[in-house]
């Protein structure tokens, strides 16, 4: 088959004008193992260019391929010969990914007669820069230390425990002359995230608009901390001292040594606890409790106080920690809550699009680039009024 035929089918698929017969022909070309491998490489290469903004994780590539393969199996057979057009694959992959994680998520939602939005249709927007490493440390005596601008070294000495800042990470060093316990609170404003190591060696990553209250030394039979917002923890193992975390007064999480993520933002409908390694017990204030195994998530609905346990999408849960947004059939309000925290903007809705969005976007780009990507779907539009983002369908 001539390469021009393949190229023509590809162009028609992208702009939505492909017929059913042509779609069958084109789909079966992509089902061949040689083309599957070609697609995988093209997806990765397309996302490494300056023109497109998605840093595609390997698992997203596999997911994309699996979704398209599922669609292929629903079509009748149409024997054809393979065609190799590497450059066109890269271009197509980039365009399709601008529409979501899987190509046919968006294709199935858009009428064939409706063209995909082009860059020329996206209005210029004022920029909000992405969040950075930084936090505010509130000491036991009420003093506050802005960690964004503080240099490395000892920033406080509380009852014999040194508080040290090293390369953007906070550590505690207990001395032999410790005389008591002080409590510190680490707060990340919107547009900031931070990592610290607690006195017991537990590592904590705080997402934007979050806080963690903890002692400067763990004494007694338990290690207790309190969190609001979202954090990922790698808890140091001390079998004789359980680690107990209270999240926004909604749930209590008890662990011995494990790694997990907790999302307890006040503006979310549920508290999510996702276990990566080890084992945790998650208890609600009404006494209900569940025990999680790795790969599971406990979801506590705030209105009902009821738990549900489901399989966790670890990559989606930890995307914030790993430097990108991850949306899987998310509504625009869910997306904008994350954007508001990271870019420190206010959101106003003139209309709420009745659409779901899927895809990954890096967290180190300006807000205007995020909005342009979302606008390319043709389903949502943004305008900026000072620090306010106005959303329309």
- Domain match, 274 and 337 both: no
In a domain, 122, yes or no: no
With cut-offs at 50, 70 and 90, classify the pLDDT of residue 70. low
In a domain, 127, yes or no: no
H helices of the chain, where?
Answer: 3-15, 20-31, 33-46, 58-73, 86-98, 103-107, 314-317, 319-322, 332-343, 367-375
In a domain, 124, yes or no: no
Q: What is the distance between the alpha carbons of residues 88 and 94, in angstroms, rounded to a whole number?
A: 10
Taking residues 342-346, report their average pLDDT: 93
- Domain match, 313 and 339 both: no
- Domain match, 158 and 275 both: yes
The answer to which of 25-39, 281-295, 327-341 has the lowest mean pLDDT is 25-39
- Domain match, 59 and 168 both: no
| Dihedral angle over CA of 307, 311, 315, 317, nearest 10 | 0
In a domain, 204, yes or no: yes
CA atoms within 13 A on the CB side of 76: 3
Q: Which string of DSSP letters, residue by residue, matches 99-133? A: T-SSHHHHHTTS-TTSPPP-GGGSPP----PPPEE
Output the pLDDT for position 45: 46
Bridge-based pairing state of the strands 169-174 and 192-197: parallel
Host domain of residue 378: 323-392
Among 317, 334, 363, the domain boundary falls at: 317
Among 4-8, 110-114, 209-213, 217-221, which range has the highest average pLDDT? Answer: 209-213
- Domain match, 108 and 225 both: no
Q: For residue 389, what are the CA distances in angstroms to 141, 193, 212, 318, 371?
A: 38, 22, 29, 26, 10
With cut-offs at 50, 70 and 90, classify the pLDDT of residue 96. very low
CATH of the domain at 352: 3.55.50.30
- Domain match, 229 and 136 both: yes
Contact (Cβ atoms closer than 8 angstroms) between residue 280 and residue 247: no
Give me the sheet containing 346-349, strands edge to edge.
346-349, 388-392, 381-385
Average model confidence (pLDDT) across the chain: 75
The pair of structure tokens assigned to 314 is 């670890």
- Domain match, 378 and 350 both: yes
pLDDT in tens, 216-244: 888 888 999 999 999 999 999 887 889 99
The pair of structure tokens assigned to 45 is 């290469």
Count up the domains in the chain and report the number.
Answer: 3
CATH of the domain at 191: 2.60.120.1440
- Domain match, 91 and 165 both: no
pLDDT in tens, 21-50: 676 676 666 666 656 555 555 454 444 333
- Domain match, 57 and 75 both: yes
In a domain, 251, yes or no: yes
- Domain match, 220 and 97 both: no
In a domain, 69, yes or no: yes
In a domain, 86, yes or no: yes
Task: Decide if pLDDT at 1 tops 90.
Answer: no
- Domain match, 273 and 362 both: no
CB neighbours (10 Å) of residue 49? 11
Output the pLDDT for position 86: 32
Among 317, 335, 353, the domain boundary falls at: 317
In a domain, 282, yes or no: yes
Taking residues 42-67, report their average pLDDT: 45
Q: What is the distance between the alpha carbons of residues 389 and 392, in angstroms, rounded to a whole number?
A: 10
pLDDT in tens, 183-226: 999 999 999 999 999 989 999 999 999 999 999 888 888 999 99
Taking residues 267-286, report their average pLDDT: 93
Among 86, 116, 146, the domain boundary falls at: 116
Q: What is the distance between the alpha carbons of residues 351 and 347, in angstroms, rounded to a whole number?
A: 12
Q: Is the dihedral of CA 67, 68, 73, 76 positive or negative?
A: positive
- Domain match, 79 and 164 both: no
Taking residues 380-391, report their average pLDDT: 87
Output the pLDDT for position 84: 31
């Amino acid at each position: 088959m001539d390469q021009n035929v393949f190229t023509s089918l590809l162009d028609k698929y992208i702009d939505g004008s492909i017929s059913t017969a042509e779609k069958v022909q084109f789909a079966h070309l992509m089902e061949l193992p040689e083309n599957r491998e070609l697609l995988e490489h093209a997806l990765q290469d397309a996302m490494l260019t300056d023109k497109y903004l998605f840093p595609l994780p390997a698992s997203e590539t596999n997911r994309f391929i699996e979704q398209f393969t599922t669609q292929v199996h629903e079509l009748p057979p149409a024997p054809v010969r393979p065609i190799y057009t590497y450059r066109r694959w890269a271009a197509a992959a980039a365009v399709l990914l601008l529409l979501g994680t899987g190509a046919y998520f968006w294709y199935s939602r858009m009428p064939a007669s409706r063209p995909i939005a082009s860059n020329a249709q996206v209005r210029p927007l004022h920029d909000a820069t992405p969040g950075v490493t930084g936090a505010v440390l509130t000491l036991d005596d009420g003093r506050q230390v802005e960690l964004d601008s503080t240099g490395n070294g000892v920033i406080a000495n509380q009852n014999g425990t040194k508080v040290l800042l090293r390369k953007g990470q906070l550590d505690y060093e207990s001395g032999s002359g410790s005389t008591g316990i002080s409590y510190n609170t680490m707060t990340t404003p919107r547009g900031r995230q931070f990592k610290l190591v607690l006195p017991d060696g537990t590592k904590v990553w705080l997402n934007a608009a979050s806080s963690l209250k903890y002692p400067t030394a763990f004494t007694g039979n338990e290690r207790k901390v309190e969190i609001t917002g979202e954090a990922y923890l790698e808890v140091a193992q001390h079998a004789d001292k359980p680690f107990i975390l209270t999240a926004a007064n909604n749930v209590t999480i008890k662990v011995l040594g494990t790694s997990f993520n907790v999302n307890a933002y006040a503006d979310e409908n549920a508290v999510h606890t996702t276990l990566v390694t080890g084992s945790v017990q998650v208890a609600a204030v009404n006494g209900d409790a569940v025990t999680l195994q790795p790969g599971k998530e406990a979801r506590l609905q705030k209105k009902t106080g009821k738990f549900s346990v489901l399989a966790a999408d670890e990559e989606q849960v930890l995307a914030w920690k790993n430097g990108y947004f991850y949306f899987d059939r998310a509504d625009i309000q869910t997306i904008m809550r994350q954007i508001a925290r990271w870019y420190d903007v206010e959101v106003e809705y003139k209309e709420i699009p009745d659409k779901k969005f899927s895809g990954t976007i890096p967290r180190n780009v300006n807000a205007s680039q995020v909005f342009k990507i979302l606008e390319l779907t043709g389903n949502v539009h943004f305008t900026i009024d000072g620090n306010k983002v106005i959303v329309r369908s």
